[in-house]
């Protein structure tokens, strides 16, 4: 039996993961702002489920609840940083408040969660951090610039942290799902549209999403199953692409970036000092 701490556990992939883990006999600290959606599970697994309600952007509350969770269960094997949402709009369209909320929720809160759990994971001799990113942590689309900033940012943060904490038996898994049938689309925070972007790629993406032209191939249940299976492995990969769309888009983007880098070799080396 493992013990998991999951943020964003009251909806989407987090709620599905909580259900699946409890069903197989594990213990879960389920964190979310809408704890009422978790109440039915408490009746079936009261001794294995700890429901925690707080806003992850409240760093002081986050630290208190993390400390309390480790104190209550003694050990937490896997910390799943799943909470987040998407901001939709061209960079010029989004408001300062929307930018602050996007980065505070997806980036700063995830950073502070990792910082809060690390002392406990070190003290217990190891553990695993699973970060829910997205194919949007490796590729980018118009109208999602701030969302991408949060996902590219958290992936860079964890690449460094993984090296810092590996000597303590702590490892990191970054999950990168493609478009998946969850509540993500309906929960998008949308900026007011500026007509000047109608005839641009940003406008094309707006129309494509509105018309349903973008296929959503990812299955939420299968995505969660793959994440749990990867987290159960003795030595998981650093990154896990989930869904054919994510695989194809990330593969294409990485090849293009590598090709661009290869053509720059002479210029790159020319910047070295003679010494």
Give residue-wise pLDDT tens across range 76-134. 999 999 988 899 999 999 999 999 999 999 999 999 999 999 999 999 999 999 999 99
- CA–CA separation, 1 and 22 (whole Å): 10
Residue 184: pLDDT band (50, 70, 90) is low
Catalytic residue among 11, 110, 133, 134: 133
Catalytic residue among 10, 81, 110, 150: 10
Known catalytic residue: 145?
no
Which segments of 133-268 are extended strands (E)? 170-177, 189-190, 239-242
pLDDT over threshold 80, residue 71:
yes
Distance in Å from the first CA to the final CA of the chain: 58
Catalytic residue among 81, 141, 145, 151: 151
Known catalytic residue: 81?
no
Closest by CA position to 62, among listed 10, 97, 108: 108
Helix, strand or coil for residue 52?
strand
Q: Indicate the Cα dihedral angle 14, 17, 21, 26, nearest 10°.
A: -30
- CA–CA separation, 192 and 92 (whole Å): 10
Question: Contact 133/174 with Cβ under 8 angstroms?
Answer: yes
Known catalytic residue: 133?
yes
Please compute the mean of the pLDDT values over residues 222-230 and round it to a whole number: 96
Helix, strand or coil for residue 3?
strand
User: Which CATH number does 3-270 carry?
Assistant: 3.40.50.720
Determine the Cα angle at 246 with ends 255 and 218, to 5°.
165
What tokens appear for 214 in the block? 């973008």
Catalytic residue among 85, 141, 147, 197: 147
The ranges assigned to domains in the chain are: 3-270
For 23-67, the pLDDT digits (tens) are: 999 999 999 887 777 888 877 777 899 999 999 999 999 999 999
Known catalytic residue: 10?
yes
């Amino acid at each position: 039996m493992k013990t998991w701490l999951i943020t964003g556990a009251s909806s989407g992939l987090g709620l599905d993961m909580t259900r699946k883990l409890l069903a197989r006999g594990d213990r879960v600290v389920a964190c979310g702002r809408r704890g009422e959606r978790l109440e039915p599970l408490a009746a079936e697994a009261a001794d294995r489920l700890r429901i925690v309600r707080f806003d992850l952007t409240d760093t002081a509350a986050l630290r208190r609840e993390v400390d309390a969770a480790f104190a209550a269960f003694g050990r937490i094997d896997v910390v799943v940083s799943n909470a987040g949402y998407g901001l939709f709009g061209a960079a010029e369209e989004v408001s300062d408040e929307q930018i602050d909320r996007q980065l505070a929720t997806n980036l700063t809160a995830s950073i502070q969660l990792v910082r809060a759990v690390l002392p406990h994971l070190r003290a217990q001799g190891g553990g695993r951090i699973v970060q829910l990113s997205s194919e949007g942590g490796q590729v980018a689309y118009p109208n999602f610039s701030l969302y991408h900033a949060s996902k590219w940012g958290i992936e860079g943060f964890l690449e460094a942290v993984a090296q810092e904490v590996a000597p303590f038996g702590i490892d990191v898994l970054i999950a990168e799902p493609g478009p998946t049938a969850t509540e993500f689309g309906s929960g998008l925070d949308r900026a007011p549209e500026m007509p000047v972007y109608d005839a641009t790629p940003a406008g094309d993406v707006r129309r494509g999403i509105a018309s349903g032209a973008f296929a959503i191939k990812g299955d939420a249940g299968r995505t969660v199953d793959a994440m749990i299976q990867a987290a159960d492995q003795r030595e998981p990969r650093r990154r896990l692409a989930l869904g054919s769309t994510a695989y194809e888009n990330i593969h294409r983007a990485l090849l293009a970036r590598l090709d661009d880098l290869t053509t720059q070799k002479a210029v790159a080396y020319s910047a070295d000092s003679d010494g």
